[in-house]
Amino acid sequence: MANILMLGTGSAGTYDLYNTCFIIQNNEGNFLVDTGGSNEIIRRIDYFNIDYNSLNNIFISHSHTDHIFGLFWLLRKMAGLYKRGIITKKLNIYCNDFVYEAIKQILNHVLSKGLLDIINDLVNYNVVKNGDKHIINGIEYTFFDILAKGIKQYGFKTIINNKKIAFLGDEPLNESLYDNFINYDYLFHEVFCLESEENIYHPFELFHSSTRSLSNMLNKLNIKNVIIYHTEEKHGEKRKELYIKETKEYYSGNVYVPDDLEIIKI
């Protein structure tokens, strides 16, 4: 059993929503997947009363602003707690080599030498290659290259509570990977906009999906549940209802469109 704590569900250009990132929480700890783009990450973690000593694993899918920049605020905070002995465990960061280079470069430019020394002591970097497996909080995760059309990006697949689950970052599942996810129980998948608003948001030019393009793939692969995130935010409180309705016009499985700070149980 795990809880998915949705810290944010928005896209890169959000104003009211936080950028997409979430925590996989089980009785062994908290695994943070992406960090959003600002210090709002800290408020979101605190909203769920997360003990920082149980937040020992972070995965960064790719180095775009809306996924990586929250990390620097979080490391700054955690370095202070580590220095004061409140955090006693090491922090594992999992990412591909391109993200690792970005983190190191940015850290060197934005934090003081004193903080960098603490962070170097606190953090274990795990640079993942396609197919690498790691056990995180007792759960095995296989990290893989999603073959993104934009920047180098990784996702992961895992089994939680006997459910096959894949997190696919913020691009549509690449067709060459379809065979790997047939009959999956849960896909975490981006959708940028409604089908009826494709002409406004041009999702395909931005390497994103609409409700229709997602549904077609879900049907083809016989996916049982989809968790949709990384959307535009124009529809406010109506977003959930509108996105579920449109996705279900073409797809018969369960559709989750979580709000920011919603919890999904798996």
Residues that bind Zn ion (CB under 5 A): 12, 66, 170
Q: Pick from 245, 206, 203, 244: which is nearest to 226 by CA?
A: 244
């409180």: which residue's tokens?
A: 237
Which residue number, 18 or 31, has a Cβ lying nearer to Zn ion?
Answer: 18
Tell me the closest approach of the beta carbon of residue 7 to Zn ion, in angstroms.
14
Which residue number, 125 or 207, has a Cβ lying nearer to Zn ion?
Answer: 207
Which residue number, 44 or 185, has a Cβ lying nearer to Zn ion?
Answer: 44
Which residue number, 40 or 170, has a Cβ lying nearer to Zn ion?
Answer: 170
CB proximity list for 37: less than 8 A, separation 6 or greater:
12, 19, 65, 66, 67, 68, 69, 70
Furthest-apart CA atoms within the chain: distance in Å: 55
- SS3 category, 265: strand
Which residue is at the shortest CB distance from Zn ion?
Answer: 170
Tell me the closest approach of the beta carbon of residue 79 to Zn ion, in angstroms.
26
Tell me the closest approach of the beta carbon of residue 211 to Zn ion, in angstroms.
18
Cα separation, 242 vs 45, whole angstroms: 28
User: Strands 163-167 and 186-190: what pairing?
Assistant: parallel
Tell me the closest approach of the beta carbon of residue 73 to Zn ion, in angstroms.
17
Q: Is the separation of the CB atoms in 44 and 254 below 8 Å? A: no
Tell me the closest approach of the beta carbon of residue 63 to Zn ion, in angstroms.
10
Which residue number, 185 or 232, has a Cβ lying nearer to Zn ion?
Answer: 232
